[in-house]
Amino acid sequence: MKINRPHNRLVGSNPKIGIRPTIDGRLGGVRESLEKQTLGMAKATARLITENLRHADGTKVQCVIADRCIGGIAEAALCAEKFAKEGVGVSITVTPCWCYGSETMDMDPLTPKAVWGFNGTARPGAVYLAAVSAGHNQKGLPVFNIYGRDVQDPDDKNIPDDVKSKLLSFARAGLAVATMRGKSYLALGSTSMGIAGSSVDRAFFEAYLGMRVMDVDMIELVRRIERGIFDPREFKKALAWVKENCREGLDANKNHRSREAKDKEWEICVKMTMIVRDLMIGNPHLPGEEALGHNSIAAGFQGQRQWTDHLPNGDVLEAILCSSFDWNGIRQPYIVATENDALNAATMLFGHLLTGGTQIFADVRTYWSPAAIKRVTGKDLEGDAAGGILHLINSGPAALDGTGQQEVEGKPAMKPWWTITPDEAGKCLAATEWCPAVYEYFRGGGFSTRFCTRGGMPVTAARINIVKGIGPALQIAEGVTVDLPADVHDALDQRTNPTWPTTWFAPRVTGSGSFRDVYTVMNNWGANHCAFASGHIGHDLITLASMLRIPVYMHNIPEERIYRPSAWIECGDDFNACRNFGALYGKY
């Protein structure tokens, strides 16, 4: 399987990180004595970031350092001018000394900001950090403080581990913010089955994410299918790949359709997949305006019911596009939400931008208590599943990476797409069956992915909800996937729909609040859907949410891992801070 070269498939250059070395501007001994150390901090910060971070598209992150140290307003303006020309979307100010706070600070209201004040005794870097942080807060420009726990000597060029952690966490989240700005959400269709999340809230995308919303009626897919507005050579290649790699599974329907009818459905499903991708990012092989696409970083497909009552469902397009590979090889996954649930799409987008990996869209379907499992199967579960489990199962599609056939340090994972091997992609395909759609739900047919996620994968489930009078609010649950004995899995799975993909999830419980136990997590989940990412990234989601001014109302992240702007302390709590500063891009 081909491994595609990382590249930016959207319009607009990837944001860069600007490094601002600030200095005490007094010439005649003070500034001169600090130039080398200050520039050294800037270069070390840039090196740390470029060596450890990539954009979600797999390209390396670039840093831009100001041409000279910033000792006052004129040099701050020169830096701002350079950053604007270079496409900087995130800024980090570094200093080992006292500087003139409001004269040297970054004043761009849309740029996520952090300040690293060196913990040393020779010069008061921490004093500048405190002063400039106060200035940011007073001016309504939230800033992330970075201050090492241990005192360092002036000639110590190493970045302490705690400082590294904050620099990288800030940079990851800041790049996610800057990457979303100016892109679009593509809504294919409208509201699905009355689901609130698929009533797309344009104001949310505009005010909080800096994105547009593009509405396209699903009839556009019919037009392109009937008029042949897709690449015929790619279609031939794609169909052959699907026949070779997408193994058909259980047909749970009482009346089976003919082989000819199923083959026709496969053809339509493959064309739908190509067309939705083309609508998102364009295709140079198409003529005219169709070649451009809509510069969509995320999308959703309504499907039910107006489409699926008549035509094959969107399960193939959603599963293939959301996976990190297809007939063109290993490539960056797309974000396409089932049922046009735009809020779940936004959550998936957050996870993807932070990890570079595939995100899984799922229903939060059932809480299975130990007593209920014992009653139904006669078995007691052990280990992570002993306190009960949540059945995450989407009504048809989930990305094939969700099988858990990729590995990091011997554990199941959904890896950053550029690290996936052809062998791992092949294992994901082999672990997946494509079951004919259940016709009582999907009268137009189609095919659904069927697999069970391997146990032992650390995952983070999340969901954005909107509450009238408050706006968007995020919930997060870290936990682990679990393996069930085969007979237990079958007994539980058969009670719902065995043709759909299953993940058994055990959230990490704390004994109090919304995480008192597994039942309480289920009972407090804010919607019928969630998105989950590989790894425990709850702290990065909290950092990202604070940049966007989206409060987090439910999480199980230990306090020592939480990193927010300094003003959040003065505001008292997350909700007060987000309400005080308001949506990043204007009034909601």
Name the pairing type of β-strands 184-188 and 212-216: parallel
Report the C-alpha gap between 122 and 126 in whole angstroms: 11
Report the C-alpha gap between 417 and 330 in whole angstroms: 7
Q: What are phi and psi of 89, to 5 degrees?
A: -120, -10
Report the C-alpha gap between 389 and 384 in whole angstroms: 9
Report the C-alpha gap between 271 and 231 in whole angstroms: 9
| Residue 339 annotated in active site | yes
Contacts of 258 (CB under 8 A, 6+ apart): none
Report the C-alpha gap between 8 and 57 in whole angstroms: 6
Contacts of 537 (CB under 8 A, 6+ apart): 351, 354, 355, 460
Q: What are phi and psi of 408, to 5 degrees?
A: -130, 120
Tell me how far the alpha carbon of residue 154 is from its chain's centroid.
39
| Residue 560 annotated in active site | no
DSSP category for residue 208:
I
**Burial category of 169 from C-beta neighbours within 10 Å (exposed 0-12, middle 13-18, buried 19 and up):** buried
- Show the DSSP H helices in 253-314 as ranges: 259-281
Q: Residues 331, 430, 528, CA angle at the centre, nearest 5°?
A: 70
Catalytic residue among 363, 478, 483, 574: 363
DSSP 3-state assignment of 100?
coil
Q: Which two tokens stand for residue 311?
A: 């035509």
Q: What stretch of H or E contains 171?
A: helix 161-180
Q: What are phi and psi of 420, to 5 degrees?
A: -75, 140
Q: Which two tokens stand for residue 407?
A: 């590995």
Report the C-alpha gap between 92 and 44 in whole angstroms: 12
Tell me how far the alpha carbon of residue 510 is from its chain's centroid.
25
Whether 566 and 489 have beta carbons less than 8 Å apart is answered as: no
**Among 152, 8, 15, residue whose Cα is nearest residue 92:** 15
Whether 368 and 389 have beta carbons less than 8 Å apart is answered as: yes
Catalytic residue among 339, 483, 493, 574: 339
Name the pairing type of β-strands 88-95 and 63-65: unpaired
Report the C-alpha gap between 416 and 534 in whole angstroms: 9
Residues annotated as catalytic (active site), given as ranges: 339, 363
